[in-house]
Structure 1
Amino acid sequence: MGSAAAGAATAADGELGRRLHEAGLDADTGSRRLAEYAYDASNYRVRPRAVVFPRSAADVAAALSVCRDLGLPVTSRGGGTSMAGNAVGAGLVLDLSRHLRRIGAVDEDALTVDVEAGAVLSVLAREVERRTDGRLTFAPDPSSRTRATVGGSIGNDACGNHSVRHGRTSEHTVELDLVTADGARLTAGPGGLRATDPADQASARRAAELGGALRDVAAAHLAELRVELGRIPRQVSGYHLQHLLPERGFDVARALVGSEGTCAVVVGARMRLVPRPRSALLLCLGYEDVVAAARDVPVLLEERPAAVEGIDDKIVATMRWRRGTDAVAAMPRGGAWLYVDLDGDDPAEVAERAEALLERLLREGHALDGRTVPDPVERSSLWRVREDGAGLSSRLAPDAALDRSESWPGWEDSAVAPERLAGYLSDLRALLGEHGLDGVVYGHFGAGCLHIRITYDLRSDEGRAVFRAFTEDAARLVVAHGGSLSGEHGDGRARSELLGLMYSPRVLGAFAAVKQAWDPHGLLNPGVLVDPAALTADLALEGVPQRQWRTSFPLGELRAGEDRQGPFVHAVQGCIGVGRCRADTGGVMCPSYRATLDERDSTRGRARVLQEMVRSAPDQGTGWRSQDVRDALDLCLSCKACATDCPAGVDMATYKSEFFDHFYRGRLRPVSHYTLGRLPRWLGLTGRIPRLLNAALRDRPATRPLLRAGLRAAGLTPERPVPRFAGAAGWVRQVAGAGVARPGTGTGETVLFVDSFTRGFRPEVAGAAARVLAGSGRPVECAPDACCALTWISTGQLGAAQKILRRTAEALDDGSARPVVVVEPSCAAALRHDLPGLVRTDAARRVAARVRSFAEHVTELARAGELPAPGTPLPPSVVVQTHCHEYSAFGAATQRRALAAAGVGEVREATGCCGLAGNFGFEAGHYEVSLAVAEQALAPALRATEASVPVLTDGFSCHEQVRHLRPDRPGRHLAQLLDPRPGAADGTRAGIRPRARTDRKDTP
């Protein structure tokens, strides 16, 4: 863009921003915000000019008024999880998910609920179940339901896993509250349209006009609408104009469902509710391949199941590769699986049906193996594999038997009649082979809807040509099978161009007439359904410069032919927009988004800004110096939960470290990077004068102003109490009495690594850990003085981190395979994952393989019968603050397993980030968010349990957050809980008598 054109565009954007703010709207025209909303979950990138967050229908009308005056297109957006590209647009994006989330009255007699368009589906279902004591629920449950919104589901006519029983969103839509492009406020329902406010005469006139136009379109196309639309359960492509037929009751609401935001903006709805079954059971069936699985669908449908879902072995392998073998419950033998959900009021009757069906399929069907899964926890584990299919299949396990590691949507949503699915699948696989492609298959087999992600090369002209040729051939194939281009996701930018292969010119003419009646100036989501853009226009991977970005972390390995832009570009482009980071329950990510509900603070939002950075757009700064990326990363807690919870494996903590390392290279850093970021070095000094330092940092009225000023000068928040420093020799005295050998003696079977945080702040934990390990009867040796470099890593000081870790690897690599047990979970995670990433030597890899978190090692000892020591009193129940880094590096259930193995009966997990997260909660400007994050799990768990119930805080950050929230209820380390010494928890007694072989007098 030339300077004159760029200046004109800037002036136009300034005028747009001014007009939006004058209208009283929550609007943003900043480059970082536009980067976040340039993408959805599709292959497309369309950069908008502004984003508005309406709080009411009046705000929507005001935004539309500005856009009418300026001739600016408008795209409505919910959770931004569209895989067809119907949630991105070049003008104004209306994000309805931020504020329009209210859930209104539930009418149990009418089986309806009033809800705003931005309400999340899972939240709606949960709230309905709460208000009706579990009698009713909201049925549509797409895999994205924990972040997809009601408005988005209406836009796409979304379905979900249980659509075999409950059908599509259109079947649950009673009325829709709308704002039209010309500002009318209307309500659509069976029988037609009316003004939402009866006193609004202008809207009443518009309702009558529109209703007449829609009746005229239906009357002119009766035959086509009856013959070509509504032929199969999942015919979602195009407008659903069959609902305008007289025999369908001229249901304008249902005709609008699936219109993808091209006719009006949906701001609210009355949705139908269904009874919630009292009992459910999962039948898991194994097959040779997905075609064999599809052959059994007709038989399964005879049993009236609630769901019949299919997945292939590539998704299961990737789930285990990314999250560990425990992430997937035991699967029957096979290379593909069906999940069959059976439900009813009588658990015994449901179980009997399941066993009979399993026996029949093994005898008469194509199943190789199968098992019933009545346990709800195991069922959730299996469903998680299916629900994360889109993300998991985007970056596959190295042994997934594909020639490319990446796969993409584009033809992920076709549908046929269920009885034709096997034949269609077989032909589709052959077509993939003809084009040199492969695919990862999953989907709603019981409804004939197939999801498949395909190994397109969308980075090259040749690959994009193959993408287009295959998509055209695939469209012809599904039509030949009597199917639909889209069965759930809508046509969007991915398939609208191909609607002419599926529908006659007369039907396409009806679509155009309906669009003209609703939106005569073409403002609403142009390029979708009517007058479509080319399916290869605006592809996100086109135009990314082939520039190598040097990084300290390896960031994954690429296969042959995938290395044009290097690992960093591929890593940040790993975010495909599925948006699990926007969920309010399940897992740990993304704590900052859960606190702010702002896309900026989601893992996805940050990834999108990084993706714009690697495009090197002119208004995105200059690469590593991008201020937009720096701003997007400000509230990232570096909790590492996304590395585990994100189905696509996005590791934002690592990307943040890399970016900060480059961004601040040769620049003055924030003061906290010098104080907190180099804390282990400072602890070497503070350990010499702990009493003087603690006295100076004590919060007293007389010195409070001076203390607060000093903390601010150090880059710290003055609202948080400063932890007490320990003397340098405190941890040595604690460990000495446990019979732990000095470092380097080679006499221990276990090496105890006491980290800087434990040495500097919690030396009593070092003593407890030493006693617990020694009490197992196995000799223990103390690790040499070494550091995990965690604080340098989290603040992006990677050069220093590499030097520190190189010394650590050399010190710990003693030629043995002895486990290195690390007291602090975050340090254990750094040694397990970051050490071999930053120091790529055999020594580093050997040391990392030996590292155990304390909880992980305790589990091994307890299962071997070596812990806890005889006579150790254990509480009947505990509250566990799940440590984010341990969760990510060692598994979500690490501490639960340890406590169960040790014999603790009841464990309540506060599964969520504590909010302090290393340096984050101590830094100036982060205090409020830190407390808001604590409210997601930790603070409620503290309030909900008796003060006598111990709170386990293995991490120093977690410990400090609990101390701040509840000074009367200090947290304890697992080692303190299992410490065999009487009075160990409060440090009142010294010395123990280990069970065996620990009578040395050695000290570390």
Structure 2
Amino acid sequence: MGVTVRPGLERRLRAALKGEVRFDAATRGRYATDASHYQVMPIGVVTPAGPEDVAEALRIAREEGVPVLARGGGTSQCGQTVNEALVLDCSRHMTRILSLDPDARRAVVEPGLVLDELNRALKPHGLWFPVDVSTASRATLGGMAGNNSCGSRSLRYGTMRDNTVGLEAILADGTVARFGPVDAGTDRPVPPGLVSDLLALGAREAEEILARFPQVQRRVGGYNLDALLPANRPQNLGHLLVGSEGTLAFFTAIELALSPLPPARRRLGACHFGSFHGAMASAQHIVRLGPTAVELVDSTMLELAASIPLFRPTLEAFLRGAPEALLLVEFAEEDDAENARRVAALADLMRDLGFSWEGTGTRFGGVVEVTDAKLQASITELRTAGLNIMMSMKEERKPVSFVEDAAVPLEHLADYTARLTELFEKHGTRGTWYAHAGSGCLHVRPVLNLKLEKDLRAMRAIAEEAFAMVRAYKGSHSGEHGDGIVRSEFHRMMFGDRIVSTFEAVKDRFDPAGLFNPGRIVRPPRMDDRSLLRYHDRYAASTVVPRLDWSEFATEARPTPALQFQGAVEMCNNNGACRALAGGVMCPSYRATREERDSTRGRANTLRLALSGQLGPDAFTSEAMAETMALCVGCKACKRECPTGVDMARMKIEVQAARVAARGLSLRERLIAFLPRYAPLARHARAAIAWRNRTPWLARAIERATGFAAERSLPEWSTEPFRDAEAAGGAGERVILFADTFNRWFEPTNLRGAVAVLRAAGFAPVAASAGGRPLCCGRTFLAAGLVDRAREEARRSLEALLPAVRAGLPVIGLEPSCLLTLKDEWLALGLGAAAREVAEAAMLFESFVARRGERFRAVFRPREAEALVHGHCHAKAHGVAQDIVAALRLVPGLSVSMVESSCCGMAGSFGLQVETAPVARKMAELSLLPAVRRAASDAIVVANGTSCRHQIGELAPREALSPARVLAAALGPQ
């Protein structure tokens, strides 16, 4: 792995710290990358429990001569959060709001607190922290301070530096000090000698600082020496530390200046342009209207977003034609009439500039006004996902961050972007563009393949020429994302020898022994040092042959299934969206444990390292890999919510298949896999299962034999399972009922309810079977890694369904994990075009009802009640969970609301397994169970997943009903 493990260091840390200490290869590998294209293996990883742990870890590291790297969300794009150092990850435990004064609009927070979590706590007080970075769902305040983050509304609110009052930090010698205004009183003062030296430096270098520092808002390169200028009295030493990328001190607390929440009613003008140059030339005029944000979206991003199901409805709602670029202009004044006036002025300005809907070519354009708050939020979500949308390209070449966020004065923006485009073309590539046009700071990424030597050379050449161009425009080469490895090398070009020497003097005064994040900002390596790249000289091509079809990732450079699977894994760019703690579903196990290992990113990194030979032989089937995958519940949320499309549920099937091939099946895995086969016989053992569920000693004995947790009840077979004959005959329009294993043998009332509802609306459901056996999707075999068995079941079911599908009949199912397997995994089992035909015809029962709403509405009698809905993860992943709400709202008088919840935690057998049952409970307790417990006692709790109903029934405890049962209960007289 390129790093010498220090057993003495590990032992000392374990003995001294309360937090976790890990030196294993897999953990270090997970922390070797951030959202940049670099990979540097750390010495070890510590997740400190608090400031005392940090102080102890720093003391031991200092004594052992080991450098230290502070890390938060690990989303840095320049390589500032990777180093050959001891990583201290504050994001797991150091997440508290230490104090909050709403009247003074001040908060003191620990460095590991995530921005969105802070803003959720501030919202009831009418406040927020306005540095609204696109990674707000996972960016920590410590990382934002270390990077001097900006955000889309910096036109109004400024940068992180502008909103930071002060910082408490531990210096390299162990001193704890509070850095803020130099005349502010504190019980933890900065050492007087350090203060006087810094102020003297500021006075001595004032003329050079004023001459050399770019006069643009978005300048975050180097150290903020201008904070030391005599004219800035009182000088704020905390502002010197902001943007220092963990190279000067270790932050333990940050005092923030808060702002009133923006008005709820805002207006957005989506300016369409027929040419990219026209958009760039217009930005300087648009900012004069006083917007809070002017954000760019280019045609590449629009095309990619249109291919992503999550974003397609948003584009359809506001995009007109095929523009080359959009400028999203937001107005958020307290007086909405003023917002309306400014949007009208924006439309007038666009006409004055020659852009109109009647125009053609480069003069095409105009303004689409968006006032709907939900659509505004969706557009904001699309824009903030810009980087990750760009990274969703499946080709080997990807947009690479190195001239990413240079900032130039607005009057030069159009000229700069035109020249940069010519530069890219000169080197045989193109750029992708998005972000902060109003600040003159564009996130531009040339599309390169850093596995190729010629593209590495192009990266170096583009960087040198682009930064020279920025310097000529008196801009900043680093306008938002910091320096790290990418840009530190170019400080001399941008600032000159004297300022670089001053940077080094500051570093040496704070950290003479180089304890903190060495080689960043000062004395850096070359940005194209091959040994530091993620795709380095020792990066091997995978030889792991996958069981599923990954040909969608096929390119000329990936001609084999092994390389296509590796390409799918490499889609993870470490953006960290899977570390979000609320909203959506991904990643439920990370939300429960806060362990990097349990995020989609952590798993993808481990897979990539294993496939490329960096974790040793047989790493793909190792215990470390099994531990990495253990808490993946296969929710498929990443399939929809990961902006780069990393489908970890599918990847887990590959890992499990390889592991089973190498080690065989356990008894528990066999019981799970073959459930559809033995279910007809096992129902006769119903009494035994009931006895086990009510007899603790027997449950413990079975736990020892099978691994099913004694404290969890097992599902009990029905005494009256569903028979296909119950869905035979009847007049009406024929539909195919896919009667799954779980509803057939455990909850047959649901299938009977679905049959009744379908018949009431004039449909004639027919339950399909083949060879005298019920149909099966193969889901349980896939969960156990038995891909060939799953393929057999899928092929058998496919042959039975295909004639009906070709006759135009829909295939309707109740259990999302089963029915949606037809639309997902069947397409990866190599079953040909026929599988796609069936996938297109397959839909959940509630989706079928919702899509034919008027036909069903007439059959329901009024029911005055409240229904609280929890949607199955797979339904959410396929974008059909809201169909439950739509179907239930067809019942007159029924008030329906959806719980904002992640995975229920049961996830098939996950919640029943002795080693994962505690985490399953944690998942359920995050949002689902509290919401169910808060519901009125007479409210109807609805869940469309078998496992979800089991989890709610046992842990809430409340009976949860299938949508089919609720709708059947609302049928009027027939």
TM-score by length of 2: 0.94
Shift of 1:197: 4.3
Residue in structure 2 matched with residue 604 of structure 1 by the alignment: 601
1:185 — aligned with what?
176
Structure 1 residues 893 and 479: CA distance shift in structure 2, 3 A: farther
Q: 1:500 aligned to 2:492?
A: yes
Q: Secondary structure at the residue paired with 2:950?
A: helix
- Residue 47 of structure 1 aligns to a residue whose secondary structure is coil
Q: Does 1:313 align with 2:288?
A: no
State which of 774, 784, 790 in structure 2 corresponds to 1:801.
Answer: 790
Deviation string 1:839-873 (CA, Å, 9 cap, x unpaired) is: 331222221221112222112111xx211343434
SS in 2 for 1:867: helix
Q: 1:212 aligns with which of 183, 196, 204?
A: 196
Cα distance change of structure 1 residues 748 and 729 upon mapping to structure 2, 3 Å threshold: farther
What secondary structure does 2:478 align onto? coil
Letter in 2 for 1:100: M
Paired positions, count: 948
Q: Which residue of 1 aligns with 2:164?
A: 173
Does residue 107 of structure 1 match 2:101? yes
Alignment correspondent of 1:332: 320
Counterpart check, 1:678 vs 2:674: yes
Indicate the larger mover: 107-116 or 448-457: 107-116
Q: State the shift of 1:827 in Å.
A: 0.9
Aligned counterparts of 1:632 and 1:939: Cα–Cα separation in 2: 27
Map residues 64-75 of structure 1 onto 2, 5 A cutoff.
64-75=58-69
- 1:16 matched to 2:6? The reply is no
Partner residue of 1:255 out of 232, 237, 240:
240
Asked whether the equivalents of residues 541 and 611 of structure 2 are also in contact (C-alpha less than 8 Å), the reply is: no
Secondary structure in 2 aligned to 1:98?
Answer: coil
2: CA distance, partners of 1:834 / 1:163: 44
Question: Which of 809-818 and 926-935 deviates more?
Answer: 809-818
Which secondary structure state, in structure 2, belongs to the residue aligned with residue 317 of structure 1? helix
1:892 Cα deviation from its structure 2 partner: 5.2
**Which amino acid in structure 2 is aligned with residue 281 of structure 1?**
R
Deviation at 1:690, TM superposition (A): 5.2
* Residues 172-216 of structure 1 deviation map (CA, whole Å, 9 limit, x = unaligned): 11111011111111111122798x645xxxxx6x71121122123
Q: Check if 1:545 corresponds to 2:537.
A: no
Change beyond 3 A, Cα 1:659–1:60: same
What one-letter code is carried by the residue in structure 2 that aligns with 1:331?
A: L
Q: 1:583 offset after TM fit, Å?
A: 1.0
Shift of 1:485: 1.4
Report the Cα offset of residue 548 of structure 1: 3.8
1:625 paired residue number? 621
Counterpart mapping for 1:401-480 below 5 A = 406-480=398-472
Q: What are the Cα deviations for residues 25-64 of structure 1, in whole angstroms up to 9, with x where unaligned?
A: 5221122211111111110111111111122322222111
Kept after mapping to 2: 8 A contact 1:443/1:450: yes
From 229, 242, 245, the counterpart of 2:229: 245
The aligned counterpart of 1:119 is 113
Q: Match for residue 965 of structure 1?
A: 955
Change (3 A) 1:965 1:695: closer
Deviations 1:707-728 (A, max 9, x none): 3312442221111112220247
Counterpart residue identity of residue 924, structure 1: V
Please give the secondary structure, in 2, of the residue aligned with 1:186. strand
8 Å contact kept, 1:393–1:407: yes
The 5 Å alignment of 1:797-876 reads: 797-814=786-803, 815-862=806-853, 865-876=854-865
Deviation at 1:889, TM superposition (A): 2.3
Q: How does 1:718-757 map to 2 (within 5 A)?
A: 718-727=710-719, 729-732=721-724, 734-735=726-727, 739=729, 749-757=734-742
321 and 631 in structure 1: CA distance in 2 versus 1, 3 angstrom threshold:
same
C-alpha deviation, 1:812, in angstroms: 1.2
* Structure 2: stretches of 5+ with no match in the other structure: 357-364
Quick one: distance in 1 between partners of 2:591 and 2:737? 37
Contact 2:168 2:179 in 1 (8 A): yes
- Secondary structure, counterpart of 2:476 in structure 1: coil
CA contact (8 A) 1:731 1:766 kept: no
Query: For residue 473 of structure 2, what is the aligned residue in structure 1?
Result: 481
The alignment's C-alpha RMSD in Å is 2.3
Separation in structure 1 between the aligned mates of residue 970 and residue 45 of structure 2, nearest angstrom: 60
1:287: Cα distance to partner?
Answer: 1.4
Counterparts of 2:390 and 2:868, CA distance in 1: 35
User: 1:284, 1:371 within 8 Å by CA — same for their partners in 2?
Assistant: yes
- Asked if 1:655 corresponds to 2:642, the answer is no
Indicate how the Cα distance of structure 1 residues 70 and 980 shifts in structure 2: closer, same or farther if over 3 A, else same: closer
SS of the residue corresponding to residue 810 of structure 1 reads helix
1:898-917 correspondence to structure 2 within 5 Å: 898-900=887-889, 904-917=894-907
Kept after mapping to 2: 8 A contact 1:289/1:312: no
The sequence identity of aligned pairs, in percent, is 34
Q: What do the CA deviations read for 1:72-125 (whole angstroms, capped 9, x no partner)?
A: 111111111101110111010111111111113223443321111111111112
Match of 1:974 among 963, 967, 970: 963
The SS at the match of 2:266 is strand
Contact between 2:721 and 2:745, CA under 8 Å: does it hold in 1? no
Q: Matched residues in 2 for 1:710 and 1:914: separation?
A: 24
Q: Is the 8 A contact 2:181 2:237 kept in 1?
A: yes
Q: Is the 8 A contact 1:238 1:499 kept in 2?
A: yes
- Partner Cα distance (1:510, 1:899) in 2: 67
Can you give the 5+ residue segments of structure 1 that lack an aligned partner in the other structure? 199-203, 398-402, 742-746, 984-991, 994-1004
Counterpart position of 2:754 = 769
Residue 880 of structure 1, aligned match among 869, 875, 878? 869
1:145 aligns with 2:136: yes
Aligned to 2:257: 272
Q: Is the 8 A contact 1:639 1:653 kept in 2?
A: yes
- Is the 8 Å Cα contact of residues 42 and 85 (structure 1) preserved in structure 2? yes
2:566 equivalent to 1:566: no
**Secondary structure of residue in 1 paired with 2:878:** helix
Summarize deviations over 1:653-700 as a string: whole Å, max 9, x none.
11111011002214133332111232212312223x15534543341x
1:94 and 2:80 matched: no
Q: Which residue of 2 aligns with 1:28?
A: 22
Which range is displaced more, 279-288 or 827-836? 279-288
> How far, CA to CA, are the matches of 1:686 and 1:646 in structure 2?
39
1:787 maps onto 2:776 in alignment: yes
SS at match of 1:716: coil
Mapping for residues 507-522 of structure 1, pairs under 5 Å: 507-522=499-514
Deviation per residue, 1:965-998 (Å, 9 max, x gap): 234x311111122226769xxxxxxxx84xxxxx
SS in 2 for 1:175: strand
Instruction: Find out whether 1:895 has 2:879 as its counterpart.
Output: no
CA offset digits 1:133-187 (Å, max 9, x no partner): x1x2211010001110111111111010111111100001111101111111111
Contact 1:310 1:336 in 2 (8 A): yes
Shift of 1:895: 2.6
Task: Give how far 1:351 is off.
Answer: 2.6
Partner AA of 1:33 in structure 2: T
Matched residue, 2:368? 371
Contact 1:74 1:525 in 2 (8 A): yes
- What residue identity is the alignment partner of 1:966? A
- 1:370 CA displacement: 2.1
Q: Could you report, residue by residue, the CA deviation over 1:621-667 in whole angstroms, capped at 9, with x for unpaired residues? A: 52422322211111111111011111111111111110110022141
2-side partners of 1:966 and 1:111: how far apart?
Answer: 39
Give the distance between the partners of 2:252 and 2:969, measured in 1 at CA: 61
Q: Please give the alpha-carbon distance, in whole angstroms, between the structure 2 residues aligned to 1:951 and 1:363.
A: 56
Read off the aligned partner of 2:799 and give its amino acid letter.
Answer: E
Q: Would the alpha carbon gap of residues 966 and 239 (structure 1) be closer, same or farther in structure 2, given more than 3 Å must change?
A: closer
Other structure's SS at 2:231 match: helix
Q: State how far apart, in whole Å, the 2-side matches of 1:901 and 1:418 are.
A: 53
